[in-house]
Amino acid sequence: MSPSEQFNAHTPRKGSKEWHRLESHLIEVAKLAARFCRPFGATGLAYLVGLWHDLGKVNPAFQEYLKNCATGKPGISVPHARDGAIYAYLRLVKSSKADIWPEIAMPILGHHNGLIALGEASLRLSDYDKNLLKKIIPFADLLPSPKMSFISISDAQKELYLRMIFSALVDADYLDTEKHFAPRNASARGEWTRPSDLWPVFRANQLRLMWNNRNESGVNLIRRQIYNECIHSAKLSPGVFRLMVPTGGGKTRSALAFALRHTVEHPEQHFQRIIVALPYTSIVDQTASEYRRIFGDRLVLEHQSQANVPEGENQEEFALKERLASENWDHPLIVTTTVQLFESLFNNKPSHCRKLHNIARSIIILDEVQTLPPELMEPTLNVLRDLVDNYGVTIVLSTATQPAFDQTPYLRAFQGISIRDIVPRPERFFQDEIMKRVEYMPIRWNQDLDSLADEIGKIDQVMVIFNTRKAAFDMQDLLLKRNVKDVYHLSTLLCGEHRRRILNEIKRHLDIEAPHPIHLISTQVVEAGVDLDFPVVYRAIGPLDRIVQAAGRCNREGQRKEKGKMIIFDFVDNKAPPGAYKTGLDDSKILLERNEPDSLYDPALYSEFFQCLFRDVDLDKRNIQSYRRDLNYPEVAKRYKLIENTVLVVVSSYNDNEGERRLQTYLHESNRETFRELMPYTVNIRYDELKREEIAECVEEVSPGLYRWIGGYDDKTHRGLLGIVRDPADLIT
């Protein structure tokens, strides 16, 4: 008897009587998983993982559960992942392949609830139902029996290798399930354009830009020279690159130009996509919009946030569709946050890991790479090194203030690696008078914020950046009490659509031809990569790289009659986030006290700062590398956090309740398209904020991990969510 006549994988979709047959599902998932793992040589393993992942559905109790789901009868979900993992474990042990059982059995065991620790997996697989196994074996024997061929990997590589196989299984499982339940969505995926095909489109856009600016001089000439050098360096062999140019030097476009041209110069690498990872959502908004103007909407994926998708073995259609809404990065150009990228690389949950296999054979541009947390630097660089060495990835470290990863004895992960400069001798551009658009002033001491507010209120156009949100709020209040007009605020408490509108308003005020007064009081969210051009910038003393990045928002285009003024200030209550940020602030004070302000144009000073920082900070503070070696996936995920745990909150009232309309659309039809539409009206807040009574009263959970904000939202003074003034890290997922 054919197994497809006996067992089902999923119920019929609504309006259909066609069941999803188990045999068909297993074979299709096996083929997909094998294809996904081809770039890193794991096709044999992945095929078996896919072929055996749902063998537990042979269980008569599970088949009865599916029938109840199909007829609307209440039923209790029947776990099945462990039974498939047990079959894999026993078969491998008996076939003298006992040493590779984790790579096959652990992804199967975790494909619904997440990867667990090696020790726990071993215990869970040692106890099994022999009667159920007797039903599984004859069914499994009827499935295709591929020849087992596996590559050898070191223990140090196993943690990421297993996670990649897990990712391929999850994505293959989700895609074949989506094909059954939502064939229209599945057909829309198809085969994407390769990034090498985007190069002619980008080049044409760049030529038009250069033609339109052909009579300009100054900064644009420098940008053109940097761009040309990036194109020339794209011929270099794949690996790790450093793009170091002054703020305002056009590195965002030039980095993409290098990446696109690199895919053309190296067809043998079969690059699948370009991933641009940025630290702040405000830059993600800006960068994704620019790329869409060049390539259109279809080829660019903007991935900022991800709701906490309910994991588990529930097979009801609504639960399956919620899981299918997670992203798998199947686009040629991804614009995302560094949090989304790195926390996924260290995560253990299916919805977060689903995308990981698509990182293989990609080019990753880490924009503003200096913002990576020093306390996580050792595991972060270790994974990047592994991606380069074993997954065909090219890395571009892009920033004006390079962290000197290869110039410090305190980082083991990048020792012995060759980091090549895309722009040779970058210091020449920092010392070029054209790029010295800002005059750095000596550190200014203010007794209190009142005296500083008096000074700032008299300036027509100024941006002030504080280390904490509370200080920014206090300054905004002081200016409003003085009846200063056109006071704006930017922080991570604004939803993306609100933030986008504010930035557009600010840019209109800053128009050199028709200037208007503007006072922007902000947190660090605005100081790296955001395309603003103020004549005067005040920056509370902080880590040296933050000061230099803030200066990049001052006289950015070099078109003002006078140099911009960059004022570094300190005051009595100038508090800073604890840990590496505070350490960086203290190191900066020492360096600035013994160097002239103009030394902030010297890249050697940036290198000295980071060497001091890496010396003073524990670069694996949470002992993550030890847990990675032990294959303890839950503990790694728990410890690797660029920011504390956050929840996604929908701002339903902003823009005439547009957020609520999009939320209702998502709740009615949960898929990745409706989720993307919802994202501009969301804010991430820390999970521990929900424990505060005054905040708990302002939210209501509408689906697992997704909340509606029913408290106050300030779109007048642009503070966003009201009631939250504590300072989370300025990166958000």
The CATH number covering residue 117 comes to 1.10.3210.30
Average pLDDT over residues 260-267: 97
Q: In the numeric block, which tokens belong to residue 422?
A: 């895309």
Q: For the residues 3-23, what does the mean pLDDT come to?
A: 84
Within-domain flag for 384: yes
How far apart CA 105 and CA 166 sit, in angstroms, is: 10
User: Which tokens sit at 649?
Assistant: 């909150």
pLDDT in the model for residue 323: 46
- In angstroms, the CA 36 to CA 38 distance is 6
Mean pLDDT to the nearest integer, 373-401: 95
pLDDT on residue 315: 46
pLDDT in tens, 82-99: 999 999 999 887 776 768
pLDDT at 1 over 60: no
Condensed to tens digits (0 to 9), the pLDDT of residues 133-155 reads: 999 999 999 998 777 667 778 77
Q: CA 433: distance to chain centroid?
A: 36
333: enclosing H helix or E strand: strand 333-337
Q: What pLDDT is recorded for position 187? A: 61
Report yes or no on 328 lying in a domain: yes
Q: In degrees rounded to 5, what are phi and psi of residue 433?
A: -60, -30
Q: Is residue 12 part of a domain?
A: yes
Quote the tokens at residue 156. Answer: 């140090």
Alpha helix positions (H), 449-560: 449-457, 469-481, 496-509, 544-551
Instruction: Please indicate, yes or no, whether residues 316 and 203 belong to a single structural domain of this protein.
Output: yes
Please tell me the predicted confidence (pLDDT) of residue 703. 84
| CA 311 to the chain's CA centroid | 20
- Is the pLDDT at 158 greater than 90, yes or no? yes
pLDDT at 120 over 90: yes
Q: What is the pLDDT of residues 424-473, one digit of tens each?
A: 999 999 988 888 899 999 988 887 899 999 999 999 999 999 998 889 99
Q: Over range 686-698, report the average pLDDT.
A: 81
> Does residue 495 contact residue 680 with C-beta atoms inside 8 Å?
yes
Pairing of strands 20-21, 706-709: unpaired
3-state helix, strand, coil in the chain (%, to 5): 50, 15, 35
User: What φ, ψ does residue 373 adopt, rounded to 5°?
Assistant: -65, 125
Hey, which bits of 178-312 come out as E strands?
240-243, 273-278, 300-303
Whether the pLDDT of residue 422 is over 90: the answer is yes
CATH of the domain at 543: 3.40.50.300
Side by side, which strands form the sheet with 699-703? 682-686, 646-651, 706-709, 699-703
The last residue of one of the domains, among 153, 171, 189, is: 189
Compute the C-alpha angle 445/400/362, nearest 5°: 140
**SS3 call for 362:** strand
Contact partners, residue 264, CB within 8 Å, separation at least 6: 196, 199, 234
Residues 316 and 221 in one domain: yes
- Kindly state whether residue 731 falls inside one of the protein's structural domains: no
Residue 282 shares a structural domain with residue 233: yes
- In this structure, the answer to whether residues 294 and 333 fall within a common structural domain is yes
Domain that holds residue 531: 438-601
Q: What is the pLDDT of residues 289-301, one digit of tens each?
A: 889 999 988 888 8
Q: Per the domain annotation, does 635 fall within a domain?
A: no
377 in the same domain as 287: yes
Residue 592: its pLDDT value, please? 92
The answer to whether 553 touches 530, Cβ cutoff 8 Å, is yes
**Lowest-pLDDT range of 101-110, 338-347, 643-652:** 643-652
The CA–CA distances, whole Å, from 358 to 38, 271, 328, 387, 443 equal 11, 10, 7, 12, 47
566 and 648 share a domain? no
Residue 502 lies in a domain: yes
207 and 166 in a common domain: no
- Confidence label for 276 from pLDDT (cuts 50, 70 and 90): very high
From residue 644, give the alpha-carbon distance in Å to each of 215, 343, 353, 684. Answer: 49, 11, 19, 11
- What is the share, in percent, of the chain residues with pLDDT greater than 90? 56
| Per-residue model confidence (pLDDT) at position 719 | 73
Q: Average pLDDT, whole number, for the chain?
A: 87
Final residue in a domain of this structure, among 371, 405, 427: 427
The number of domains in the chain is: 4
**Residue 459, Cβ neighbours under 10 Å: how many?**
18
For residues 38 and 175, membership in a common domain is answered with: yes
Assess whether 168 and 286 both reside in one domain.
Answer: no
Contact predicate 107/36, CB 8 Å: no
Q: What is the pLDDT of residue 152?
A: 76
Whether residue 31 sits in one domain with residue 153: yes
Residue 727 lies inside a defined structural domain of this protein: no
Q: What is the pLDDT of residue 191?
A: 60
472 and 494 assigned to the same domain: yes
Helix (H, G, I), strand (E, B) or coil at 77: coil
Residue that the structure tokens 């309910």 belong to: 310
Contact in structure between 462 and 534 (CB atoms under 8 Å)? yes
Within a domain: residue 633? no
Confidence band of 506 (pLDDT split at 50, 70, 90): very high
The pLDDT-based confidence of 4 (bands split at 50, 70, 90) is very low
Choose the final residue of a domain: 189, 212, 247. 189
Tokens linked to 587:
């190191």
Q: Are residues 314 and 383 in the same domain?
A: yes
Q: What is the pLDDT of residues 480-496, one digit of tens each?
A: 999 998 999 988 888 88
* DSSP code of residue 452: H
With cut-offs at 50, 70 and 90, classify the pLDDT of residue 636.
very high
Task: Please give the pLDDT value at position 202.
Answer: 95
